[in-house]
Amino acid sequence: MALNQLDKEWTKQMLAKSILYFLLHFIIFVSIGAVALLWDQFDNLAEHMGKNGSSYLYALFCVFMLVVITYLYYLFEDRTVLESGKSITLVFLLLDISFLASWLIGKYINIFARPVAFVALMAFVLIGRRSGIFLNIINALLIFVADTFAGGISVQNAYYSSLIISFSAGMFAIFFCNRARTRLHIVGVGIFIVIPVDFTIALLEISTFVEGSTTAVHALSSIFMHMGFGLFGGVMSAILFLALLPFFEVIFNCLTVFRLRELTSSDAKVLKKLKEEAPGTYNHSTVVAQLAEACAAAIGEDMDYARAAAMYHDVGKLHNPEHFTENQGDYNLHDELTPELSADIIRSHARDGYALIKSNHLPDFLADIALQHHGTMPIRYFYAKALKMTDGELNIEDFSYMGPKPQTKLAAIIMIADASEAAVRAANAKKPEDVERVIRGIIEERMDLEQFSECDITMVELTKIRQALVNTLSGVYHHRVKYPTIKYKHTSDGSTKGENV
Ligand SMILES: [Fe+2]
Ligand SMILES: [Fe+2]
């Protein structure tokens, strides 16, 4: 995309603001770097700069180039990062912390013990996979520049390996982090980070040994000692990540995969309450979560977000759990109420859910989807009941949800998955063709009533969602073979015999 093709919303003012933020953070980064690299030279600064001034100038130019490239990457690949000063600060704070930690550990412990995968892990979890990969490259180059051109390394030969060690450790971290399900799994990722680090260290040390500049015993002890530091660096990356992630989640209001999984665990405050006070709704939500995950996977939406949205979509029913079918026993409270009052109680659960999620300071997207998951659909049962009871005109809006309609693909997924679960269960549909008929009807009804007119979901995606729902729901409520009933009898010879009942 060329610069002149930037969106209309991306004004010159926003462009100028993001450039200013980048310049400010460039100055902060360079200041941190200057203090770190010149720490031991303050006494004879003039003499040191006289000798090495051109190297530092070259390093400064390299850092400036890398910052410009980072800006251009976000401008053309992921402009959402440039839209808020907070996100730009997040990117630079990761690079600042990595640089400082690398300098401190390199100076006081060992150059091979630096937390080389810290930036990759944090950026991957907080901003996304692509940012993780890109910032890992930038971080590896920044450390390489400091090591090579600004005298960051005093250990002989180590700067040869600094680029490959930082780059490959970060990439390993991102690829293995993908499978990490909890924060603690990340410590395990630390072990994988060690593989490229220790491999490179061992080869580097062996090459020194081959040159014959040292004895075999000395070379071996040096290899193992430096590999030990490499192990420390891998584990240090994971520990720094675990220690700092919660602060970043709070300060930058980031919704990480770990936070989402914690929010959907049955121990989460609101869900625990739902499980205890509205068990029917809780069970319904867990099935909707399973369906929403399958739909999200089918159209390339985030499965963790879909699962969380499904688990919280009906929490508004906590206000009047016994008024909803799934929590009722034999007695139906609506038998005593007018259809208008019943419809009002039922439709208020969308609004109540929104308020409950907001008051518990849960993520905004959960509140929005709770409010939108029925769109402006009529509550058919009570509208039909009212039609039977009156000869006069009825206003359908008095029996309809108040919206808004789904604003995102995820909200549309929850709307369809929610209605499909309830309808397939109510229709007792077990064969895939019956399930398909019910779901097709659900989607067509919502299209007729223009429920998807405010989100950018396509026909192709609706078809994929239908197929995913048919596959999953056919599995959830699959046709079970009826077990024969057998009556067992003990015979006089001590054996047991059975007969069909
Ligand atoms: Fe609902
Ligand atoms: Fe629901």
- Same domain, residue pair 313 and 362: yes
| 211 pLDDT tier (thresholds 50, 70, 90) | low
Query: Does residue 139 sit in the same domain as residue 235?
Result: yes
Q: Which residues surround ligand 2, an ion (CB under 5 A)?
A: 314, 418
Out of 254, 288, 319, pick the residue that ends a domain. 254
Classify residue 239 as exposed, middle or buried by CB count within 10 Å of its CB (0-12, 13-18, 19+): middle
Total structural domains within the chain: 2
* CA atoms of 208 and 311, how far apart (whole Å): 58
Residue 501 within any structural domain of the chain? no
Question: Is 428 a domain residue?
Answer: yes
The residues facing 400 across adjacent strands are 378
Residue 49 CB burial class (10 angstroms; 0-12, 13-18, ≥19): middle
Residue 492 lies in a domain: no
Residue 445 lies in a domain: yes
Task: Report CA(7)–ligand 2 centroid distance (Å).
Answer: 37
Residue 215: in which H helix or E strand, if any? none
Say whether both 21 and 98 belong to one domain. yes
Q: State yes or no: pLDDT of 478 exceeds 80.
A: no
Same domain, 241 and 381: no
Centre of ligand 1 to C-alpha 297, Å, is 22
Residues 277, 198 share a domain: no
Q: Which ligand is nearest to the CA of 347?
A: 1
Tell me the CA–centroid distance for residue 138 and ligand 1, in Å: 46
What is the arithmetic mean of pLDDT over 174-198? 77
Q: Cβ distance 223 to 268 under 8 Å? A: no
Distance 252 CA to ligand 1 centre (A): 31
Ligand nearest to the CA of 282: 2
Residues around ligand 1, an ion, CB closer than 5 A: 314
Indicate the angle between helix axes 380-389 and 339-359, nearest 10 degrees: 160
Ligand 1 centroid distance, CA of 281 (Å): 9
Average model confidence (pLDDT) for the chain?
86
Beta bridge partners of 378: 400
Does residue 284 sit in the same domain as residue 231?
A: no
**6-15, 256-265, 463-472, range with the lowest pLDDT:** 6-15
Give the CATH number, domain containing residue 386: 1.10.3210
Question: What percent of the chain has pLDDT above 90?
Answer: 47
Parent domain of 452: 259-476
- Residue 265's CB: how many other CB atoms inside 10 A? 10
381 and 417 inside one domain: yes
Asked if the structure places residue 179 within a domain, the reply is: yes
Nearest to 306 by CA among 315, 314, 296: 296
Winning range, highest mean pLDDT, from 137-146, 291-300, 491-500 = 291-300
- Given a cut of 90, whether residue 255 has pLDDT beyond it is no
Instruction: Confirm whether 29 is domain-assigned.
Output: yes
DSSP code per residue over 346-359: HHHHHHHHHHHHHH
- Residue 352 is assigned to a structural domain of this protein: yes
Give yes or no for residue 301 having a pLDDT over 50: yes
Q: Is 339 exposed, middle or buried (0-12, 13-18, 19+ CB in 10 A)?
A: buried
| pLDDT on residue 44 | 81
Tell whether 286 and 429 lie within a shared domain.
yes
**Dist. CA 302–CA 159, nearest whole Å:** 40
Which pLDDT score is estimated for 481?
46
pLDDT digits (tens, 9 = 90+) for 441-457: 999 999 999 999 999 99
Residue 157: which residues within 8 A CB-CB, separation 6 or more? 204, 207, 208
**Whether pLDDT at 498 is above 60:** yes
Looking at per-residue pLDDT, the higher value among 170 and 253 belongs to: 170
Instruction: Tell me which of 254, 276, 309 is where a domain ends.
Output: 254
- Looking at 254, 279, 313, the residue that finishes a domain is 254
Residue 188 has pLDDT above 80, yes or no: no
Answer yes or no: do 188 and 286 share one domain: no
Average pLDDT over residues 213-242: 81
Res. 310 pLDDT band, cuts 50 70 90: very high
The answer as to whether 472 is a domain residue is yes
Tokens at residue 195, please? 């593989």
pLDDT tops 80 at residue 120: yes
Q: Which of 159-168, 231-240, 318-327, 329-338 shows the highest mean pLDDT?
A: 318-327
pLDDT at 392 (0 to 100): 72
Whole-number Å distance, alpha carbon 493 to ligand 1 midpoint, is: 61
DSSP annotation of 400? B
User: Do 59 and 159 have their domain in common?
Assistant: yes
Q: Are residues 75 and 224 in the same domain?
A: yes
How far apart (Å, rounded) are the C-alpha atoms in residues 386 and 58? 80
| Same domain for 305 and 187 | no
